[in-house]
Structure 1
């Protein structure tokens, strides 16, 4: 069953307020202050969200393509205006109810869920469709905000744990956490009595107006609780182990562990956090202007550069024209160093104005897409420029040409497209879709010089979604035909509708992202099943180890007959393993089995010890529970409960049966013997220690051939006890298991590397590669294994 956003108990239960909650006086006083602060902050944001929601509904009605759709949108708008006054009070009441139940959470968690309704065999579904859609959107909002809030949210969970008198709350259980706010929104939104599409639109407005300010609310709540004396002075400092010989100033693990300052990528396919393009550009400009002699490397976040007087200048404060001019300077230096061919051409006699360029591109965009013949090379940006100039010169004369700015735009897009194409499968449908998008993307970049500067430009976001559908790091079984169909529809819509309004790209990409979110939800469900299975196997292996250790402890210094040792280490070990799995090692059943083990060793080691019928019966019963046949169980029980040989059953016959029998938890072919590997080297040990600090969900790239091609796999779970690690693909399907030790050895050899957030998205990697080419650094080797991984 999938995890869902469960409704907050309100109308169905006794209404909860802080006044009637069963709380200590001091806790009630603090929660009332929390509720008052949250209410003041959220009321304004909620009203802004409702205002924006109303405007969006009106805009949809205004843009409706038929009178029926328009009337439906106006009906939704009317319902909003009728019921809007109930939303904010209901939301605040739900939030107060969540706070009032703070100390009930620990008691409510182990309670059994109510019995399910009788099955309706006419229509069987796992969950209601509308509930599933709403759950997906709300969980994604909560997940994104959890990632953004970071450390302050972690500290707030610690402080609420003190108020509740229990361990710290995680983001999903925190009464005023992002998931709780989304649950309350779902309940409050029911007051509007609106359709599913309208509710989903409301959720998006809620994220934009309310959740964007949630981080500020968390900070203020931490300050409030600090003043109230709840863990004053609490701070969080992540522990990063330092290996011998590691630099204290940089704090990076040696070898392939490399610089760990970049956060590992944990989002599902298509959900990587976008990086700052302007920041990468500023870092590139700083590297270009830095002296060749070295010195400290420029900051990679790019949040600031240096002005004329040495004062920091924020990127956001620099005019877009100035930043684009700096980018043109890099391009000019690149040409001077033997860059793009044909740059020595004379300036055109007639420079085309922007309107003429846009009109010609619009004409080319309206032409039907030609089917590419097999073996014909794909159209490049330079081919598109030449075709556009040929059309222009038919009407403006042979001397007509592009301005320097527009020529540079074509050249930059050509370099970017080239880098994108290197990371997309040659025969993937994404290649055809990228070619279809060339003309709309050129129009967007020509009309808006911030295309290369602004973070998260809508045209680039759609370009990334298309490219990642055919990325080289995806295996054949990662292909998603439904995603390809959705992308084809989105690209066709852009080609048909784009005429300078970037919201066309935004709408198209939003539809694709909805599919990605649905895909991620399914992958999470599949991954959870794989993790539970892996945990079960890990518990079995741990139980086997404990059973072996328990037998070895009783045999220390004593040597029963070899045949008895074989029975102990196989048949009786299975009994101990099952007991540990079912009851645990602190249970009376386990202690009883340990006493029986001690008794077996005593009897079988003594020369003339009498048989023990009671012990024989206990062994017989235990072996049958493990699955031994009645005759086999009786024969083994007789042999383990007496000191002399039992001739009623042949030892050879019993040995043959044991060898033919699969051990508990083993397959038909048994378990493969583990090869003892040499001790880890210094680099391998550094990688191993770094691995144990990574969160579940970290993505890795594995080199799978001599050409250096990679496949991405997700580290879904690993056991700190057995070191077993589970890997799944982008669909949440298991693709392999290995130990952290073997993974560390692969990392040290450069055959595996962690994918960091700044290298997570294909278009961001392509942009950074473009900047490296402009700086003339594309041919230089990166320092360190992780540096090479990011290159």
Structure 2
């Protein structure tokens, strides 16, 4: 099936640009990369949709029920109708991601991942399946093209003002997958159909990204952007025709691309690092004086020396511990014994220097707790040995040793210092991993894969437990938020009707202590727009009117008609709220006396009083009011009920609750501290400086919109803190909050080392 003409008018998908728009400020080379990528992505999307019908028809043909078959046919129809919108939306998002690369938005903070109580629910199975599918797709691309993506990210960082990583790279697999998923949000299809569409996206779009990255990198190299990062051009494999069998040999043909080419690419990273290191010798890296007749030791001998040092590694790594110095001392002793000067070879020395610089960053990283830094610091020699054995350690993100270090650091992110750290399961597990490395690792890197699998199983169990508890915390906060919102609605209703009025004390107590519960239950069950809520408010209004003094002659008739229904509504409401029956009886006794007094306040002669028919008399008697009492002369009236003036706002609190006072500081909307709060993301880790000695590490688990609460949990998922937006801003202002960087530790360290070396090269 043919696609559109090869000449693609990108103006149809590019947003309108003004001379001052952010897109206009992109470098020319980057605009060319963007347009070329958009052209290829558009053609790949067309191939996806051209083949989607055939795929869904085959699925429908194999369906086991009419309902299942109809779902596939409906999906085909929906996809045809929305194809153009999806294509346009996807390319629009690609252009938008480029447009923000050189843009700092002022007065428009990024949208907060806030949660209302309506959205606080368990991650649905459909969403989980989507997430798993996307993660697998991204991981597959990164395992194949990680070096090309990293090179492209580095080149983009050299050209734009925004700091990027591989996930935020606008042409990275994560960004493209997210853009496609968002553009498909309007599809009304089941999750199994959506997963099929995602697999088609993986096949027809992600499958060709190697060529896209190769061309993008080459274009930027030709423009003079980081030419020292050189990659071998990707080898294009012919696309398998739709419906062809595996017998075409495609599987065999793709092996060099995923194996040999990837190996060459990651090897080139070490070469680029060596080139940068050569500029740093004599400044950051001291030059070692070497005798003219010095003989470099082999990598095998270096491994033996490192193993010797590994067995004698200190339990606590001191700040001044330097592997290079320790190794130099061993070589000096060996040279003295043999009478021949022995030194480390240049390549191995570069490896040692790089690993030392990486661990200098790691041990200085404020994100890692100090207690765990000591444990991770003991991994330096095993990591050095891996790097000596396998130079792809520096360029392959999926390297088991790198992943192990990253996973340990990620797990340690939420770990707080404790007096008895050795009783903590995470500390014990990390200690076990480190000790196993020191004891058992000689020269077989397979131990890292084994330890990684074991550690992932451990952290997976811990994560599932913490997510369950975290969800329970969210559910509790959801209930609390609903109750808080309902209480505020009831408070408002009560204060609107009572504040500033003088009423019988028993009526004020009945409304505040009893009817408030009825209103709250009604609000929670039916909402403030429901007829039930309006009926409960009307009952309260009738009660207030019935005990107020009235001189209107018609008021007596209205009171006669109102009281029976009013008392019935009050009884039923309080019974539905399970209000204490004994207290209910007391309230109604006093209310009966009030209504008797209300009738007696009419001072008109009995002869002029309207006649009370038998129906009204019976209704009053059923409500507990004997009519003869209504006709007592004024001098026999009962004593007046005590009255109270409602001068303070009614505040309703849950049992044991104390309404937190708002911070005295009231910051303007454009204050930098409030912007820092608004930039917080659900899932972000922060550290609160509680006092000079104590720090609290916690994760933002939810932002409850109705109450404005920010809920923080510890690494086990237990709630440890809640703050208002203004309260958090005050903490930011006094520098008591520090955001913790949750990016991969090794990658951050490598990025820092490369950045420092580049600065030295440019100096």
Interval containing the TM-score (normalised by the shorter chain): 0.5 to 0.7
- Which residue is 1:615 aligned to? 566
Q: Distance in 1 between matches of 2:483 and 2:388?
A: 62
* Contact in 2 for aligned 1:458/1:506 (Cα 8 Å): yes
Pairwise CA distance, 1:412: 1.6
The range that moved more, 580-589 or 421-430, is: 421-430
Pairwise CA distance, 1:523: 0.8
> Are residues 1:716 and 2:716 paired?
no
Pairwise CA distance, 1:764: 2.9
* Contact in 2 for aligned 1:701/1:754 (Cα 8 Å): yes
Q: What is the CA deviation profile of residues 499-526 of structure 1, one whole-angstrom value per residue up to 9, with x for unaligned ones?
A: 4443321121111011111111101110
The range that moved more, 712-721 or 449-458, is: 712-721
- Which residue is 1:601 aligned to? 544
- Which residue is 2:245 aligned to? none
Change (3 A) 1:435 1:682: closer
Q: Distance in 1 between matches of 2:433 and 2:300?
A: 26
Pairwise CA distance, 1:327: 1.6
* Contact in 1 for aligned 2:731/2:737 (Cα 8 Å): yes
Q: How do 1:95-494 residues align onto structure 2 when only pairs under 5 Å count?
A: 96=63, 100=67, 163=74, 228-230=80-82, 232-234=84-86, 250=102, 252-254=104-106, 257=109, 301=166, 304=217, 306-307=220-221, 310=224, 317=232, 319-336=265-282, 338-341=283-286, 349-365=294-310, 367=311, 379-390=321-332, 392-393=334-335, 397-423=339-365, 430-431=372-373, 433-468=375-410, 470-471=412-413, 474=416, 476=418, 481-494=424-437
Q: What is the CA deviation profile of residues 345-379 of structure 1, one whole-angstrom value per residue up to 9, with x for unaligned ones?
A: 667711122232223334444x466655xx96674
* Contact in 2 for aligned 1:616/1:640 (Cα 8 Å): no
* Contact in 2 for aligned 1:700/1:713 (Cα 8 Å): yes
Q: Distance in 1 between matches of 2:91 and 2:478?
A: 26
- Which residue is 2:517 aligned to? 574
> Are residues 1:533 and 2:476 paired?
yes
**Equivalent of 1:728 in 713, 722, 742:** 713
Q: Distance in 1 between matches of 2:643 and 2:269?
A: 85
Q: Distance in 2 between matches of 1:335 and 1:281?
A: 24
Pairwise CA distance, 1:607: 3.2
- The count of residues paired between Structure 1 and Structure 2 equals 550
Change (3 A) 1:677 1:433: closer
TM-score (norm 2): 0.58
**Equivalent of 1:739 in 713, 724, 746:** 724
Pairwise CA distance, 1:543: 1.2
Q: Distance in 2 between matches of 1:253 and 1:745?
A: 23
Q: Distance in 2 between matches of 1:711 and 1:321?
A: 42
**Equivalent of 1:700 in 681, 685, 693:** 685
* Contact in 1 for aligned 2:363/2:377 (Cα 8 Å): no
Pairwise CA distance, 1:451: 1.8
- Which residue is 1:561 aligned to? 503
- Which residue is 2:458 aligned to? 515
Q: Distance in 2 between matches of 1:329 and 1:278?
A: 19
> Are residues 1:770 and 2:716 paired?
no
Pairwise CA distance, 1:532: 0.8
Q: What is the CA deviation profile of residues 682-726 of structure 1, one whole-angstrom value per residue up to 9, with x for unaligned ones?
A: 14597389459x5xx421324416889975432222223222232
* Contact in 2 for aligned 1:702/1:752 (Cα 8 Å): yes
Q: How do 1:41-52 residues align onto structure 2 when only pairs under 5 Å count?
A: none
Q: How do 1:643-658 residues align onto structure 2 when only pairs under 5 Å count?
A: none
* Contact in 2 for aligned 1:702/1:753 (Cα 8 Å): yes
* Contact in 1 for aligned 2:491/2:651 (Cα 8 Å): no
TM-score (norm 1): 0.57
Q: Distance in 1 between matches of 2:420 and 2:748?
A: 21
* Contact in 2 for aligned 1:459/1:506 (Cα 8 Å): yes
Q: Distance in 1 between matches of 2:408 and 2:449?
A: 13
* Contact in 2 for aligned 1:724/1:740 (Cα 8 Å): yes
* Contact in 2 for aligned 1:379/1:435 (Cα 8 Å): no
Q: Distance in 2 between matches of 1:286 and 1:614?
A: 75
Q: Which of the two has higher C-alpha Rg?
A: 2
Q: Distance in 2 between matches of 1:32 and 1:239?
A: 24
Q: Distance in 1 between matches of 2:462 and 2:269?
A: 38
Change (3 A) 1:376 1:439: closer
* Contact in 1 for aligned 2:665/2:730 (Cα 8 Å): no
Pairwise CA distance, 1:639: 6.0
Q: Distance in 2 between matches of 1:32 and 1:236?
A: 20
* Contact in 2 for aligned 1:423/1:472 (Cα 8 Å): no
**Equivalent of 1:506 in 449, 454, 463:** 449
* Contact in 1 for aligned 2:686/2:739 (Cα 8 Å): yes
* Contact in 2 for aligned 1:352/1:402 (Cα 8 Å): yes
* Contact in 1 for aligned 2:414/2:714 (Cα 8 Å): no
Change (3 A) 1:370 1:722: closer
Unaligned runs of 5+ in 2: 1-50, 94-98, 114-122, 170-212, 233-263, 599-636
* Contact in 2 for aligned 1:277/1:453 (Cα 8 Å): yes
Unaligned runs of 5+ in 1: 1-29, 40-91, 105-159, 165-223, 241-246, 781-791
Q: Distance in 2 between matches of 1:521 and 1:581?
A: 31
Q: What is the CA deviation profile of residues 235-287 of structure 1, one whole-angstrom value per residue up to 9, with x for unaligned ones?
A: 658999xxxxxx987554448958999xxxx999xx99999788668766887
Pairwise CA distance, 1:33: 5.3
Q: Distance in 1 between matches of 2:301 and 2:708?
A: 64
> Are residues 1:633 and 2:584 paired?
yes
